[in-house]
Structure 1
Amino acid sequence: MNAPLLSTPSVEAFFFDADPGTRFSLYHAPAPRRPELGAILYVHPFAEELNRSRRMASLQARQFAAMGYAVLQIDLFGCGDSCGDFSAARWDIWRRDLAAALDWLQQRSAGPVQLWGLRLGGLLALDFACSTPVDGIILWQPFLHGRTCINQFLRQRLTETEGDSTAPRSTAVLRANLAAHGSIEVAGYSLARELAQAIDACDAAAMPVPPCPIHWFASGGPAPARQAAGVARLAQRWAERDAILHYHPLDGPPFWGPAAGTECQALLAATATVFGAGQP
């Protein structure tokens, strides 16, 4: 780990060495004079959703620390303030980043370790946990199918070129262009074919998740009634591996969306209710 960039009694900003380069991180120490409840590693969302959700991630990280958790936030390779271009980002590099971050965190906390993933970060957390057992997983409005995330991302390109009669008019055409040319530019992000293919291949229902509690907080508006059936099927699938899914639907704004500075107090409150007593 390199020297801290910023250090306060509760938050430390620093870069740690990784392969390749360095990763920017924030460490929130557990509140003093409180029983330490364990450690939590945050896995951020995809592309611009990372920046849009920074405030909510910070609010929740501080809340976790106040409860007694040690929390580490890391910008993955090619993302945020870490080194590398987004065009060079790869799923396997991000998994290695999480392994290095988890090792760093476990050296500072002897308690149970949980992954906390937002949006695509939730799917990455689940995938990572399949090969690196953890004590629990926290999912904030996760993508359960990688292909859904990539399609949503590509639809931004369709919006950008709306009105241009020569521009592609479907995600299928954009996907064909991505396959043919190796990358595609969307909202200032150059998405590589290799990363898109790796994300497309991720399906939460097919993952051999570890035997641990998984808390899924569904925000961004009233949860659709049809989602209940999907949740039940997923819970049954994961229960076969002794993973227990707890589903927490709630109303709240999509703070990862274009509206800058949006907060979802209902999500913060729901998360605090579940984890405030240190119960997994």
Structure 2
Amino acid sequence: MLTGHFIASEQGQLFITQFGDITGDSAILCLPSITEEMNLARAVVAKQAQCFADENLPCFVLDYYGTGDSEGEFEQANTDIWLENIIAAGEFIQQQGVSNIILWGVRFGALLMLNHQKTLHQQLPITQQILWQPVTNGKLFLSQFLRIKQAKNMMSNSAEKTNWREHVLQGNDTEVAGYLLTKPMLQAIESLKISQEFQPLSSLHWFELSVKEPTPLTKRLSASWDETLASMHCFDCPRFWQVPEIFALPELEQLTLRAVCVK
């Protein structure tokens, strides 16, 4: 079953896509990435969600306020609003009879959930966390995003060199790949970072993608983790969040499914 729901939030209606019927007490809530990454990854995320649903594990994919089919514009949103959206989505899922929520963060979605891990665990009955290639530093994420603007300028043969980050910080709202980036949004995203002291509060499955072994950064992050609580998985696959025309990764689907153990 594939169903769409509009749920109320303080800012406006949020859209959630439901894959599969609720037959037990567990469900997955997917927190996607944002901007172009969200669009490019959508097909692979949908296939994984359906894979979960086929194993009687319903999956709900959230469109944050100002993204996807939810109300609002990107420039009207901020990371605090998106945190409220996650909680609202989790409460909606609980109202459907679910008492165990597995959070699944994709790229920026993983960064958002880990930065607010304590609040989310206080507000929602989270039992597991799945991370697909987490963004570990919001400033680096935005730097990569702003390169799209720089590349577009170069393709138009513009001789003008602009520091787009400084341009936005000076209060100049700037369109990048169809998204209006504002100073408050830039500052909010740049403030997000996974601390070296991060410790998981529930069973955590971290997936390093497009690599055969963990990067030095993730090795440092995971060095102090309780191995009975957290696991690291590597899977060498295309960067579907950056590359168009990737619609399914069956091996990743099965690897992720096997990692999730519903009690």
Q: Same fold (TM over 0.5)?
A: yes
Query: Aligned in 2, Cα 1:186/1:90: closer, same or farther, shift over 3 Å?
Result: same
Give the aligned partner of residue 140 of structure 1. 132
In 2, Cα distance between equivalents of 1:65 and 1:21: 28
For 2:141, give the aligned amino acid: C
Aligned partner of 2:252 among 254, 257, 267: 267
Aligned partner of 1:85 among 67, 70, 73: 73
Q: Give the match's secondary structure for 2:242.
A: coil
Q: Does 1:257 align with 2:249?
A: no
In 1, Cα distance between equivalents of 2:97 and 2:199: 23
1:240-268 C-alpha deviation (Å, 9 max, x unpaired): xx993311111111111242344323321
Aligned partner of 1:222 among 211, 215, 222: 211
1:211-257 C-alpha deviation (Å, 9 max, x unpaired): 211111122x23466x1x32232123554xx9933111111111112
Give the aligned partner of residue 165 of structure 1. 159
RMSD value over aligned CA atoms? 2.2
Moved over 6 A (4+): none
In 2, Cα distance between equivalents of 1:53 and 1:124: 17
Query: Aligned in 2, Cα 1:243/1:274: closer, same or farther, shift over 3 Å?
Result: closer
Give the aligned partner of residue 12 of structure 2. 21
For 2:161, give the aligned amino acid: A
1:14-66 C-alpha deviation (Å, 9 max, x unpaired): 2111121101111223475xxx3611111011102111111111111111112
TM-score by length of structure 2 reads: 0.89
Aligned partner of 1:61 among 49, 72, 84: 49
Aligned partner of 2:2 among 2, 11, 14: 11
In 1, Cα distance between equivalents of 2:159 and 2:136: 34
In 1, Cα distance between equivalents of 2:176 and 2:228: 36
Q: CA deviation at 1:121?
A: 0.7
Give the aligned partner of residue 27 of structure 2. 39
Segment of structure 1 superposing worse, 109-118 or 151-160: 109-118
Q: CA deviation at 1:208?
A: 5.5
Q: CA deviation at 1:278?
A: 2.8
Q: Give the match's secondary structure for 2:120.
A: coil
Give the aligned partner of residue 62 of structure 2. 74
In 1, Cα distance between equivalents of 2:129 and 2:228: 10
Q: CA deviation at 1:78?
A: 0.6
Between the two proteins, the alignment pairs up a number of residues equal to 257
1:155-181 C-alpha deviation (Å, 9 max, x unpaired): 11111111311132xxxx211101102
Q: CA deviation at 1:84?
A: 0.7
- Contact 1:41–1:114 (CA under 8 A) maintained in structure 2: yes
Q: Does 1:119 align with 2:110?
A: no
In 1, Cα distance between equivalents of 2:254 and 2:7: 32
Q: CA deviation at 1:129?
A: 2.1
Q: CA deviation at 1:96?
A: 0.5
In the alignment, structure 1 segments of 5+ residues that lack a partner are 1-9
TM-score by length of structure 1 reads: 0.84
- Contact 1:31–1:65 (CA under 8 A) maintained in structure 2: no
In 2, Cα distance between equivalents of 1:243 and 1:43: 24
- Contact 1:30–1:67 (CA under 8 A) maintained in structure 2: no
Give the aligned partner of residue 180 of structure 2. 190
For 1:12, give the aligned amino acid: T
For 1:59, give the aligned amino acid: K
- Identity score, percent: 28
- Contact 1:43–1:122 (CA under 8 A) maintained in structure 2: yes
In the alignment, structure 2 segments of 5+ residues that lack a partner are none
Q: Does 1:51 align with 2:39?
A: yes
- Contact 2:198–2:221 (CA under 8 A) maintained in structure 1: no
For 1:14, give the aligned amino acid: H
- Contact 2:2–2:18 (CA under 8 A) maintained in structure 1: yes
Q: CA deviation at 1:86?
A: 0.9
For 2:88, give the aligned amino acid: A
- Contact 2:5–2:17 (CA under 8 A) maintained in structure 1: yes
